[in-house]
Amino acid sequence: MKLRVLGCSGGVGGNLHTTSLLLDHDVLIDAGTGVVGLSLSELSRIDHVFVSHSHLDHIACIPLLVDSVSFMRDKPLTIHATAATLETLQQHIFNWKIWPDFTQIPDPQKPYMRFQAIELGKTITLGGRKITPLPANHVVPAVGFQLDSGNASLVYTGDTTTNDAFWKVVNRIDNMRYLIIETAFSNAEIELAVLSKHLCPSLLADDLRKLQLDPEIYITHLKPGEVELTMREVMECVQGRSPRMLQNGQVFEF
């Protein structure tokens, strides 16, 4: 399996793009603004989008993706998300007011897009690749994902805050090689982090103490303008580990 980081910022500006990860050539893990860097040919090869939650920075490019390449495809784009997230997408995005309902066009029997509900802990297998939704703790229904090649696993938290249920599951993954975990705010904004159910460096350090494994750790979802400050605080707060900042364009093979 190969995972390429298309976007990993908590905002936009300059070359910053919001969360989107391309698994091999045909699967997106979230579809933030990072998707815009793909060519039309690359976009047309995407068959599946796994959505961690319904916030705009993680779904922004789904409407444009399906609209841009549907004429180039012979099967629907499948959106995998929890039932609650799919309901939000249907009601507030693909509602003919914000965007056409591509689950109904050009024909309800042969649509350009289809929804597929996922459930916590229930693995989806695509060509030998195993994708398992993991617990997340956010202000809207949310999940993280374990991507398992059989040889090794990469875990992506999605947007989350302190979450004992997540670590209980993760500590049972015997082939975990990488952990991509969010830290959206600096320590000075801990009240905002708690209110919005994100992590800041001190909360991150507290939660990482629950991790019993030794994967490589990468920090994602840093807010523009606070990247250096937040990463400096991460290094100060997290003891005994060496987290690194996730980089746009970074590739993981596992």
Both tokens assigned to 229 = 């400050």
The per-residue pLDDT for 68 is 97
The per-residue pLDDT for 136 is 98
Question: What are the mean pLDDT values of the chain's consecutive 10-residue runs (254 residues total)?
Answer: 98 95 98 98 98 98 97 96 98 98 96 98 97 98 98 98 98 98 98 98 98 98 97 97 97 98
Is 12 exposed, middle or buried, given 0-12, 13-18 or 19+ CB atoms closer than 10 A? middle
Q: Tokens 């459930």, residue? A: 119
Half-sphere exposure of 232 (CA within 13 A, CB side): 5
Is 123 exposed, middle or buried, given 0-12, 13-18 or 19+ CB atoms closer than 10 A? exposed
Is 106 exposed, middle or buried, given 0-12, 13-18 or 19+ CB atoms closer than 10 A? exposed
Q: Which amino acid is at 218?
A: Y
The per-residue pLDDT for 105 is 96
Domains and CATH numbers, the chain: 1-81+83-117 (3.60.15.10), 120-246 (3.60.15.10)
Both tokens assigned to 12 = 């936009």
Structural contact between residues 5 and 249, judged by C-beta atoms closer than 8 angstroms: yes
The per-residue pLDDT for 151 is 97
Both tokens assigned to 104 = 């109904």
Q: Using alpha carbons, select from 190, 184, 194 the residue that is nearest to residue 220.
A: 184
